[in-house]
Homo-oligomer: A and B are copies of this chain.
Amino acid sequence: MAGSSHVYQAPRGTRDFLPDDMAVRLHIERAWRDAAVSHGFDEIEGPTFEHLELYTSKSGPGIVNELFSFKRSGGETDFALRPEFTPTLARMAAAMGRGLAVPTRWFSMPWHYRAERPQRGRLREFRQFNVDVIGDPSPAADAETIAVALAALGRLGLGPDDVQVRISHRAAVNRMLADLGIAEDRITDAQDLLDKRDRIEPDAFAAKAAELGLDADAVARLGALGGEAVPASTDPATLAEAWSVPADTLTELVALRSELEARGLLDFCRWDISIVRGLAYYTGCVWEIHEISGKERAIAGGGRYDTLVESFGGPSLPACGFGMGDVVLELVLRDRDLITGGADLLPRPDAFLVSMGEDTDAAVVPLLTRLRAAGLHARATDKSTRNLGKLLKDASRCRARFAVILGEELAQDTVVLKDLDSGDQTEVPLAELEARLGNG
């Protein structure tokens, strides 16, 4: 392969972030972090790769087939690039044991990796916002995580006309699967299949459903499971009837509805039994956020996983949370013109220095140094031209707030300050420059 050009490209399914792309990503990450911090969540992070077994033991087939795994050459341990954050979080919580104050509210926004075929909304490397409450069994905790997800989307301009939270419950899903005749030890496989239903061919779906021991009639019923989502205002008795499940499987959803209402979020929410989630460890409520027309993959997905921390050797700690990737979210934001090129999101320089003659050139670097030491974002032209119009165009191109023009006034320790938004131009004593730029 020596000299072949593919090595000079980013690996398939990964991305190079040039400054405009990076500005978009930082804009998204800022919304994530600000939403989580304002809701009282503390930021954490874990390793990019974990012991392979951390995933093979608990996450189920849906994720294990997509792992990038490797060994240290000569080493004995298998590692895997982190495909999701929850096992890391549960491992950290388990390691702290009784030392963990509960409830604990944690968030993280690291990279994740899935070795699957790249396609729209699905890359091999993506950034994911993870928000979790540990040690709180109440539906208030589920509602708090949903509130953070919606607050983050709100900061990016997405409201109830744009996105919808579709909420289900594993107890109801599993009851419906059992009623179809799925054996208890195949429930995890059936959940995984149901989760993939919209993404695989009907024939492949039917073949896999048959492997679960279903006859043709049951395969058809599995494929149609769920039907229409219903508004979160629907009364529980009606919902239980629509889903053909006993009312007691819906107790937590009823309590969750009150909590969502107290947070003013009911308009965003629908009950939707077709939401399953592919991960094996969920135990209660599961939910996804979708663009309202349903035209992209899920923007976020999460739920309750009350046994995972204990399964990693920790105390028995109920927990719930969600993940929100950057890839689908960015598609939705671009679809709705809430993000354009990205250049408008780059940090604006406070000052762009322009020297009009050879006698002022020597003043540029010391003045840049002075402004930067004051914490200001200062740039200077790298062109040799003395054409002020061209130089000011460069200043505008990087969206500088002010041009600082070093001309013959510099002999009197004065510069010309041009406000590039208003066009106003004034002479300013050098000594006052930081103050003038800082108040711009």
Contacts and interface: CB of A to CB of B under 8 A. Distances in A.
Interface of A: 1-2, 5-11, 14-19, 22-23, 25-26, 34, 37-40, 42-51, 53-54, 57, 68-73, 77, 79, 81, 88, 91-92, 94-96, 103, 106, 111, 113, 115, 125, 136, 140, 147, 151, 259, 262-264, 312-313, 346-347, 349, 362, 365-366, 369, 372-373, 375-380, 382
Nearest to A26: B43
Contacts of A19: 42-44, 106
B8 A22 contact: no
A184 B419 CA distance: 56
B11 A366 contact: no
B2 A264 contact: no
A369 to B, nearest CB: 5
9 contacts: A11-B50, A18-B96, A22-B44, A26-B43, A34-B375, A40-B379, A48-B111, A72-B115, A151-B372
Contacts of A49: 11, 14, 68, 81, 125
Contacts of A140: 365
Contacts of A111: 48, 111
A313 B72 contact: no
B92 A16 contact: yes
A2 B53 contact: yes
* Interchain residue pairs A-B with the least CB separation, the first 7: A70-B70, A14-B47, A19-B42, A40-B379, A7-B51, A17-B45, A262-B365
A347 B41 CA distance: 10
A125 B48 contact: yes
A72 B79 contact: no
Contacts of A70: 68-71
A346 B44 CA distance: 11
Contacts of A264: 366, 369
A52 to B, nearest CB: 8
A103 B40 contact: no
A47 B346 contact: no
Nearest to A25: B45
Contact of A365 (B23, B72, B96, B263): B263
A40 B377 contact: yes
Contacts of A349: 40
Nearest to A258: B365
Contacts of A46: 10, 14-17
A24 to B, nearest CB: 11
A423 to B, nearest CB: 23
A373 to B, nearest CB: 8
Given A14-B48, A19-B106, A147-B369, A313 B43 contact: no
